[in-house]
Amino acid sequence: MYFDMQKNLRIVFIGSSIFSLYHLIKLIKKKYCVILIITKPKPKFSKRNKKNLSNLITKISVKYNIPVLWSESLDDIQIMLSKLVIDLIIIASYGRKLSESILNIPRFGCLNIHGSLLPRWRGAAPIQRAIYYGDCITGVTIMKINSYLDAGKIIYQKICVIKKYDNNITLCKKLAKIGSTVLIKLLKTNLFDNSVSQNNIGITYAKKLTKQEAKINWSLSNTKLVNMINAFNPWPMAFFCYQDSIIKIISAIASNYYTKKNPGTVIHYNKWGIYITTGYGIIILTSIKIISKNKNAITVNSINNNILLIASKLFTINTILV
């Protein structure tokens, strides 16, 4: 299928994350005809990141005069799409599986941009799970959509190396840049005809993140805890409780230093961070956010050199955390 009237394609874009926003902006800047944006409803309370995303989508809608459907109701989506002439639906990180009746509406079908090398990490949180489980590489898959979860034929894949300092924010940005660039290249070629079925070997599922799994278990190894901290930044943010405060861990590094002290023991602090024992090795907390009982919050880190001052007031050496 060759799209060399690509700028005249009538595209509906569906997505609800910063990852998806990169692709939407790229399509608009490259003068593609986006006739409708579909995204999840605006949050009524809290959820600052989601509110920021809603504000960005609103600004894009107003600036480029593109209507927005704020919905995750498949019935509402189908009713809206059935009223339009659509050539292509492009989906990136929407978080809902579309019905077959919706998939059959556009003339050229539906494409999905997915933040992993499928079939590894099908599902809702592929970027976070790749970090959480210590993958060395991940990537972007562009595929045709079928009625099964992330199981469509693969059109194109591109690898991305996961660096040891990558967290969900940095890796999401890298993958979004890769995906949006590849998407535009594909729209100018006939590569849509060269799709291949996914391998049935190596299928894994990236379940949604929960606040419950973000609680630190100091008996895990330092490497596993660092992966967890990186995967859960910015949400739900790895945390532990101490006295009347919740301490969220923004960043940490694993140390080669070893001690026989019980996991969760504060053994040292300096301007570089707070040193805590784990099930294997030491973890150094380099940036934390302390939320007190009355909901006041303070962020401290090694960059601002205030972590030593706060740590010395908060902990004593050999404090055991739970």
Predicted local confidence at residue 293, as pLDDT: 77
Report angle CA 100, 210, 256 to the nearest 5 degrees: 125
What integer pLDDT is reported at residue 48 of this predicted model? 47
| Distance (Å, whole) CA 300 – CA 286 | 8
Q: Which domains does the chain have, with CATH numbers?
A: 6-206 (3.40.50.170), 212-314 (3.10.25.10)
Residue indicated by tokens 């300096």: 270
Please report the pLDDT score of residue 3 as a whole number.
Answer: 52
Q: Identify the pLDDT of residue 298.
A: 86
Residue reference for tokens 């945390």: 239
Q: What is the pLDDT of residue 191?
A: 62
Of the candidates 223, 264, 262, the one whose C-alpha atom is nearest the C-alpha of residue 247 is: 264
SS3 51: helix
- For CA atoms 103, 106, 107, 112, give the dihedral sign: negative
Mean pLDDT by 10-residue block, N- to C-terminus, for the chain (322 residues)?
A: 66 95 96 95 57 83 95 94 96 92 94 98 97 98 94 97 96 98 90 86 96 97 98 96 94 91 96 95 96 82 80 91 88
pLDDT at 174 (0 to 100): 98
pLDDT of 322: 83
What secondary structure letter does DSSP report for 67?
Answer: -
